[in-house]
Amino acid sequence: MKKILMVVTSHATMGESGRSTGVWFEELSTPYYVFKDAGLEVEIASIKGGPVPFDPHSIEAGEARPVSVTRFMNDPEAMQKAQASMKLDAADASNYAAIFLPGGHGTMWDLPASATLAHLLSDAWAKEKVLAAVCHGPAGLVNVKDANGTPLVAGREATGFSNSEEEAAGLTQSVPFLLEDRLRELGALYRKAPDFHAHAIRDGRLVTGQNPASSEEAARLTLQAIV
């Protein structure tokens, strides 16, 4: 059985604002079930290991809650994986067909700062694995290099949470950098759809999605990219 590693943030606060953040639940739960329902095994790792912090704004009540979030919250196996996530140091790229980075604003702090993550993803790319990320998840790609030492995203089509979406969320001044700007600076051929519309791109073994609504499409493109 092929395995996918989902790597999530361990960062639970929005800079020094005190506002709670973490993983955007839908961006973990929706791809998780796309992969599981396709017959793949899914493991969850985080930067520090242990309980995954979920952004409270992503756990809506009633009919507003995405179906996959409710399914995940009622799934003992899935919740156990989230409550006892693997510490990233223990992950070996050789064990996975793909590595998928869900978003959430927490990713903007600890994913780019993790040398362990950059090494894991660079190693995975060299081993011809699929790399995928959605929304703020591409923040984990910014320090990833190819075999020539070139930024992985350089010259490749990619997307991620846009400047206008960050502005609409009122968090432009809260994040350490704007993801769209950073991807462009690294040479990515950045593409975006209208704010908060589903939009995902596959460029060979690299898959990126723009926002929470893009989670399912990004996961399905990841499946297509797995040989």
3.40.50.1100, 3.40.50.880, 3.50.50.60, 3.90.1200.10: which CATH number matches 3-225?
A: 3.40.50.880
pLDDT value at residue 17:
76
Structure tokens at 169: 């969320």
Q: What does DSSP assign to residue 51?
A: S
pLDDT value at residue 1:
85
> What 3-state class would DSSP assign to 46?
strand
Q: Taking the chain (227 residues) in consecutive chunks of 10 residues, what is each chunk's mean pLDDT?
A: 97 87 98 98 98 95 92 98 98 98 98 98 98 98 97 98 97 96 98 98 98 98 94
pLDDT value at residue 178:
98
Strand stretches in the chain, DSSP E: 3-8, 41-46, 86-87, 98-101, 130-134, 157-158, 189-190, 200-203, 206-209
Q: Which residue has the tokens 């793949």?
A: 40
Q: How far is CA 162 from the centre of its chain?
A: 15
Q: Please return the burial class of 159, using the count of CB atoms within 10 Å of its CB with bins 0-12, 13-18 and 19+.
A: buried
> Please, what's the largest Cα pairwise distance for the chain?
50
pLDDT value at residue 130:
98
Domain boundaries, the chain: 3-225
pLDDT value at residue 25:
98
pLDDT value at residue 61:
82
